Amino acid sequence: MSNRAYEDELLAAIYDEDNPDGPDHDYFRELARDLSAACITDLGCGTGLLTVTMSGPGRTVIGIDPAAAMLERAAARSGGATVTWRLGTSELIEADSSDLIVMSGNVAMHILGDAWPATLCDIRRGLREGGVLAFEARNPLAQAWQKWSTPAQTRDTAVGRLREAVTTSAPDELGIITMDSVNEFLDADEAINVSQRLQFRTFETLREDLGAAGLAVRNVWRDWDRTPFTGSADEPLMIVEAVSADVALGARAET
């Protein structure tokens, strides 16, 4: 099976109804406002639902994603012309360009193996002085994958009836799970098999990985209302804000 989760036009067409605007998007918008961000990069912007809502007067917004089907929808959406769209991954982030780099919708978990440290180095290079990286990831201690396998069920979508079934593996030694799904668009008479891999990382691993790229955690929240994360298994979400380690050190020296 190939990974077509984000490369298929029918799956891209139903992405927004499965992943609507909500408190996560509010959080990223508020962070942009609090930082008075003049330039925002949305890495793994997908269909651009959040991306376009972050644009505004006096602000540059750049959306980057490797999936053409997602990016085409992003560019075509209302407000799409206010954003610069780039097809690719983090190497397209310009040096010293961004006051805020976001990876919403668990993008970080899609970036596996050696691509993850390389992505963090590109992000570090792309942050302006005082710039912030913000992203969420799932806490492996909460073992969310245990609930992801589902027998075949049918629902109505914007592109007709969809029968879907999901089988999820336990994590391997790197914390990578594989989610295999069969997606049958009954009215379009198209069946799409998707094999998706996601990497679960503990908070300690995230902190180490960020540190190795020259980034330091400034906050970690357990929810979109900014409740501090304590590291327990009943906190499924980790929302991480990181800054350049030089900036973090400077701030500490001043206090």
Name the residues that contact ligand SAM, by CB under 6 A. Answer: 6, 19, 43-46, 50, 65-67, 70, 89-90, 104-107, 110-111, 115
Q: How far apart are CA 47 and CA 34, in angstroms?
A: 25
**3-state helix vs strand vs coil in the chain, percent to 5:** 35, 35, 35
How far apart are CB 21 and ligand SAM at their closest, in Å?
10
**Of 114 and 189, which has the nearer Cβ to ligand SAM?**
114
What's the CA gap between 3 and 87, in Å, rounded? Answer: 17
Per the CB < 8 A criterion, the answer to whether 139 and 237 are in contact is yes
Minimum CB separation of residue 69 from ligand SAM in Å reads 9
Q: Which residues of 21-60 are buried (b: 16+ CB within 10 A; e: fewer)?
A: eeebbebbbebbeeeebebbbbbbbbbbbbbbbbbeeebb
State the Cα–Cα distance between residues 83 and 111, nearest whole angstrom: 23
255 is written with which tokens?
């206090």
Nearest CA to 69 out of 231, 236, 192 is that of: 192
Q: Min. distance of Cβ 254 from ligand SAM in angstroms?
A: 34
Which of residues 26 and 247 has its CB atom nearest to ligand SAM in the complex? 26
Q: Shortest approach of ligand SAM to residue 232 CB, angstroms?
A: 25
CB closer to ligand SAM out of 31 and 107: 107
Residue 53 CB, shortest distance to ligand SAM, in Å, is 11
- Residue placing its CB nearer to ligand SAM in the complex, 110 or 138: 110
Which residue lies nearer to ligand SAM by CB, 180 or 231? 180
